[in-house]
Amino acid sequence: MGFFSKLFKGPEIDMEKSNANAKKMRALFDQAVKDGEHYRLIFGYTEDVSRFNYGFVHGSKTKIGNLIVGWDEASQTITVVPTVPDLSGCGQPTYYRRSEILKAYRSKYPADAFIIYPDKKNYISIHAYDWLEDETLYVYISQDEELAAFTDFFLNKFAAK
């Protein structure tokens, strides 16, 4: 590895911690969602916290809502479970069934987000990335593969303008 690739490489991932958090996310999701084992999971967050007020991160300028996002290809359902960065608990799930939503699309600008409108008044904006550095705001998890699978599902089987 050259000098510049070392210089511009992101933070090293602690896979032990990431895997432990993935297990915690799975346990919380399965506890909150009936048939949760049928879902694949990613961590996401939203700044639209009025609808997901479980575990606001206090003391920050932005109110971040941490989310465990599950998707089931067979039922074409995305289920969102609010949580907190240390995964010590979770709130009630919200289900977004493809047959019941008005619109869903991926917004690239100004932020890369998955947007779901269940009706004409409400929406959820889900941001999902591989590991974000601030553990007081976000769950520590490396999820490149799962995020790629969710993006494919969202764009090819779920989204509709």
Give me the CATH number covering residue 64: 2.30.29
Classify residue 2: in a domain, yes or no. Answer: no
Classify residue 3: in a domain, yes or no. Answer: no
Classify residue 7: in a domain, yes or no. Answer: no
| Domain total in the chain | 1
The pLDDT tens digits of the residues spanning 47-76 come to 765 655 554 444 444 567 899 999 999 999
CA distance 117 to 65: 18
pTM recorded for the entire structure: 0.86
CA distance 110 to 151: 18
Classify residue 5: in a domain, yes or no. Answer: no
Provide the 10 A C-beta neighbour count for residue 105. Answer: 16
Classify residue 51: in a domain, yes or no. Answer: yes
CA distance 126 to 113: 5
Residue 12 is given by DSSP the state P
The pLDDT tens digits of the residues spanning 2-21 come to 444 344 445 688 999 999 99
Q: Which two tokens stand for residue 154?
A: 């969202």
Domain hosting 45: range is 12-158
